[in-house]
Chains A and B, each alone.
Chain A
């Protein structure tokens, strides 16, 4: 970043008389370039165009919160002891003085109460982690609902999906480290789930915990994953993610002048770099501000892990909620013995549902590409309403996730609203199946309704609110036509029609063609096509 050394923008730049700062920059640039040929990179990347839209900043939030996580996490490693050796706590937090706990828990308390800024950094780290996973989730939703995963970006969707899974793994391994009562019970649940896996579960749990649960190994092992293996994977995949973004160039929304063959927006140097750097500080600042005033994960309230006590209303961090909720939604009795083994379907079914859900998320771009058979590149992001079935599928998926997520708080919902926890669970069980179906149809109808409205506005203009009385006594509202730029946003989309089944060269209709045709009917039977020029000309006549 040498932006401070450049002369103020707007002032005419005279190349023969560079400022004092500029002379240094030229010398330094030359020095580096003669040793790295970096000028080629600057030429390649420096004036790349980045389209502007608020929703494009969600991925940036994820990236910047990850940097905050790395910085605050590095500070924490200086003081944290990832060992489960039992010690007697001897720090400043009086209520736990003399209590036996693991070294991990004791060092967490020391960071919180005996190291200046330690509690702040713990809270920065935890809040940043929550923001990290949340922003990845929102970023993925933005990509999904605007169809930005279409060719050529399917690979980058997969990379982003892996980052989402890794972020959850980072979060879980991270909040398990303090070895407090809450995180210990979280590990107990993981142990129970692993043990429920047929054939190998017992041994996997035994190897994971280094013996019987809880053992004295798990914190050290999770620490290795948390600060080395997983961050290395995250950093590597972020690099791939960003390189692919540069290769594919960013999508843009339909706007006057924007086409499939151009990118309209700000150049990386200086405007985008300026906004991005400023935004990094804003994200960092907001996280630090929240961490200064809002407590998160007060492990001293929970106490050290002990397999016997537990507090009511235990909850994992928000992003693990959907998995915990799915466990709660299984009705009683889903376990039986067969062929000498114990089949814990109350564990196996939730695991299968969660994995299937994630697999569908990961492979959705390929499913849609197969249905449309569209092999062209797509660089204009859809407005969600213009892809009603995709938006409806997304709404169904979000609802499914939300019900699982709500189920992780079934007890809290019950106590807050004075309901029986059984009734909350029964309702959520019903919603898990009905909710996505309802959401699907509601979202699809809303999309089609909005499309119809768009078409109406494009053809006949918008209601001006001016009521005019005609000589005949009739009242009409004057419709104001749109200008060409406003109209372009409403008419510039593509629609798809169901695949027509045709016999192949041998005069036969194959099974797959029939299948694809029926799926494409489901996707595209209800559709609103954009207004054409002809309709527009006819519309303006009356």
Chain B
């Protein structure tokens, strides 16, 4: 892609002995100011005054002694500041004293060595020649020659089918390794799992984390309950997995404040409504309930849901309303689920509506 304009620039190269290399659209000035060369070296005070030099040396030796003392102190502190089980102050002291002593040992030796390098070692800048990164012309020619010889001797480009089948074999060979990763997860299809939770007809709503059931009468106006399904705490396996889908927030509002869509009139009970606590964005718990505005806020990404309008999204990156859990009251006055959620809870996934 070099055009005439760029070639013109090449002829003005500063170093004609270097192999031709386009300078592109760089402006090569014809009367640039010349490099004045190295300035005279300024001697350090340690170069001029042997007394100062000796004093600095003593100072550095002192620093190394301080470092040795720091290391020993760290060992001593390890013993004299033990951790007494249950005593948080002892943890703090152990961390602080052992750490500070180690830090002293490290910093003293660090300052000492840097100071030695800067004040006592030979201080003048040295100069080294720089060469172009590419190999020298004979080296490059020999390398190209080796490739050519190897190609001729092996017939790599001549025996085309042989070469192509080799490349294909090399590409195909990692595939079994990828297939082997299938059992990272169980055989079962994940989609049905994501579409169902522990909630079923008649499952009692219980307090999180105690698991005690909730009476409708306990839910006073303006209160909010963190809810898990009855039996969750007794699960042998998969407790957290079930909880990650089944967590619910229960709130009581004035029935006239709730705007209910047709078909969902019976999903609440006297102003008590239950919504999935798992954000429809990426799944954080929507745990902050603002009593005055009846808004739920997700602390992770600030999605806000309006409970008076069936938890529709009013702010933030979430799209879908929080799924509502249809609830009722059983014979003993406890809140129960009418069914599972009627749609998948939590973050969106590809097969959600399939």
CB distance from A265 to the nearest CB of B (A): 6
List the one stretch of B22-30, B143-151, B266-274 in contact with chain A. Answer: B22-30
Residue of B nearest to A313 (CB): B299
Inter-chain contacts of A247 with B (CB < 8 A): 133
B113 near A274 with CB under 8 A, answer: yes
**Alpha-carbon distance A514/B265, docked complex (angstroms):** 66
Note all chain A residues with C-beta closer than 8 A to B182. Answer: 207
Inter-chain contact A285/B317, CB cutoff 8 Å: no
A151 nearest in chain B by CB position: B133
Interface residues of A in 279-337 (CB under 8 A from B): 279-286, 288-289, 291-293, 305-314, 324, 327-337
Contact (A8, B299) CB under 8 Å given A212-B193, A346-B317, A534-B31:
no
Bound complex: CA A330 to CA B315 (Å): 10
Interface digits, B79-98 against A, CB 8 Å rule (1 contact, 0 not)? 00011011110010011101
Task: Report if B153 contacts A (CB, 8 A).
Answer: no
A199 within 8 A of B: yes
Give the docked Cα–Cα distance between A364 and B354 (Å). 42
The answer, yes or no, to whether A98 is at the interface (CB within 8 Å) is no
The interface stretch among A73-81, A436-444, A485-493 is: A485-493
Contacts of B126 in A (CB 8 A): 47, 49, 264-267
Chain B binder among A31-39, A159-167, A185-193, A467-475: A185-193
Q: B164-172, B183-191, B215-223, B331-339: which lies at the A interface?
A: B183-191
CA distance A124 to B350 in the complex (A): 42
- CB neighbours (8 Å) of B35 from chain A are 256-257, 259, 488, 492
Cα of A213 to Cα of B283 in the assembled complex, Å = 10
Contacts of A347 in B (CB 8 A): 282, 348
**Nearest chain A CB to B270's CB is how many angstroms away?**
25
Interface contact A536-B33, CB-CB below 8 Å: yes
Question: Are the C-beta atoms of A189 and B284 separated by less than 8 Å?
Answer: yes
- Report chain A residues within 8 Å CB of B121: 9, 270-271, 274
A424: nearest chain-B partner, CB-CB: B302
Q: Which chain A positions have C-beta within 8 A of B302? A: 328, 410-411, 421, 425
Q: Mark B94-111, 1 if CB is under 8 A from A, else 0.
A: 111011101111110111
Chain B residues with CB below 8 A from A10, complex form: 53, 120
**CA–CA, A534 to B112, complex, Å?**
50
Contact partners of B241 in chain A: CB under 8 A:
211-215
Residue B181, interface by CB 8 Å: yes
**A264 with B132: in contact, given A278-B113, A281-B110 (CB under 8 Å)?**
no
Give A467-525 interface residues, CB cut-off 8 Å to B: 484-485, 487-488, 491-492, 494-500, 502, 504, 512-513, 516, 520, 524
A-B residue pair count with CB separations less than 8 angstroms: 410
Q: Does A530 count as interface, using CB distance less than 8 angstroms?
A: yes
Task: Provide the residues of chain A in CB contact with B228, threshold 8 Å.
Answer: 308
Asked if residues B36 and A529 are in contact (CB atoms below 8 Å), the reply is no
Closest Cβ of chain B: how far from A277's Cβ, in Å?
A: 6
Please determine whether B287 and A309 come into contact, CB atoms closer than 8 angstroms.
Answer: yes
Q: Is B263 close to A, CB under 8 A?
A: no
Q: Which residues of A contact B194 (CB under 8 A)?
A: 202, 212
Find out whether the CB atom of A113 lies under 8 angstroms from the CB atom of B133: no
| A284-B306 Cα distance, complex, nearest whole Å | 51
Q: Which among B3-11, B155-163, B198-206, B252-260 touches the partner chain?
A: B3-11
Contacts of A410 in B (CB 8 A): 302
Q: At the interface, yes or no: A427 with Cβ under 8 Å from chain B?
A: no
For the complex of A and B, list the 8 residue pairs with the smallest distance between their C-beta atoms, beginning with the closest: A192-B282, A292-B99, A373-B24, A281-B110, A274-B117, A278-B113, A285-B106, A278-B114
With A314-B284, A328-B302 already in contact, 14 other A-B pairs whose C-beta atoms are closer than 8 Å: A185-B285, A192-B283, A203-B185, A206-B190, A285-B110, A288-B102, A292-B98, A309-B226, A310-B299, A334-B317, A491-B33, A513-B3, A516-B1, A529-B27
